[in-house]
Amino acid sequence: MKQATRLTLISRRYCHLCQDMEVALASLAEELAFDLEVLDVDADAALEERYDELVPVLLHHGHELCHYFLEVGKVRDYLSKIG
């Protein structure tokens, strides 16, 4: 059985763009069958140094898929390629 793809959302609690992307990803995850891990950028100094002003950032194994806004087409294309 194939393990589900895990995407990582770098986020912060008081960021409305982060909240919007997380909600959009929740429904997309059901459709495209991926797991979503949400990490708080402010809880990790290394994440904060790298992504501070870019949040929200959607990653797959360190590869940036999008930031600020969810690019659904780009995420769909990427997931279909890694299949």
Is pLDDT at 3 greater than 90 in this prediction? no
Output the pLDDT for position 78.
Answer: 96
Q: Which two tokens stand for residue 54?
A: 């870019």
Confidence band for 2, pLDDT divided at 50, 70 and 90: low
Query: Strand, coil or helix: what is 1?
Result: coil
Is pLDDT at 1 greater than 60 in this prediction? no
**Residue 55 near residue 65, CB atoms below 8 Å:** no
Say how many C-beta atoms besides its own lie within 10 A of residue 78's C-beta.
Answer: 17
Question: Model pTM?
Answer: 0.93
pLDDT in tens, 27-59: 999 889 999 999 999 999 999 999 999 999 999
Query: What stretches of 3-67 adopt beta strand conformation (E)?
Result: 5-11, 34-40, 57-60, 63-67
